[in-house]
Structure 1
């Protein structure tokens, strides 16, 4: 692993704890990404958080964190895995940040055109 990045896949939620389906989705996404990233030798899933957004306490999100090596390939793989597995691909945002630096996440993919903001 040469250069590493944090990558976060974010799903919007309707409540802080999420529904039973949101929890099922979290488990399935983490399981699928763990296998796919490992098989492609691109990284691993590092965990998740679920609840209020830091930037807007009235909004809720599920964030799944990964540590990856090749940014472009990893994003393409994650998008394909979520789409092929039918894991609410049409609701996600993907953002990355250099691994060793305390910076902000940069939005790399959003479920619809025109979305430019990203925050945890």
Structure 2
């Protein structure tokens, strides 16, 4: 059995009161990633959350959680699916953490250069 990872796709939100568009985005991203990850047998979508960031209560985010087996291939697939599907690819952060371990997420991709911080 290959090693598993948590992979989280994070979108910034404007407020704690999420809009209809935020809910639509969450549903579409989860749907597209579920299909894409299953098609290549890399993993599955494990859920999402929306609201205040734990690290900074003044910031809000949509987090979509996946469990994947091949970290680098999964990151590349997620980026390609979101870009090709036009699902706000230019606003995402992607971070990973070993599955089953209490560690912190490591930022693997950010929508713009110079962004180095990641937290839920």
TM-score (norm 2): 0.98
- 8 Å contact kept, 1:6–1:98: yes
- 8 Å contact kept, 1:5–1:98: yes
Bigger Cα displacement from structure 2, 67-76 vs 16-25: 16-25
**Separation (CA, whole Å) in 1 of partners of 2:18 and 2:76:** 27
Root-mean-square deviation over aligned CA pairs: 0.6
What is the CA distance between 1:51 and its match in structure 2? Answer: 0.2
Please identify runs of 4+ aligned residues in structure 1 that moved more than 6 A: none
Deviations 1:8-54 (A, max 9, x none): 00000011131110100000000000000000100000000000000
What is the CA distance between 1:109 and its match in structure 2? Answer: 0.1
What is the CA distance between 1:67 and its match in structure 2? Answer: 0.1
TM-score (norm 1): 0.98
**Separation (CA, whole Å) in 2 of partners of 1:20 and 1:33:** 20
Alignment match, 1:56: 56
- Structure 1: tracts of 5 or more residues without a match: none
**Separation (CA, whole Å) in 2 of partners of 1:106 and 1:42:** 19
**Separation (CA, whole Å) in 1 of partners of 2:65 and 2:17:** 17
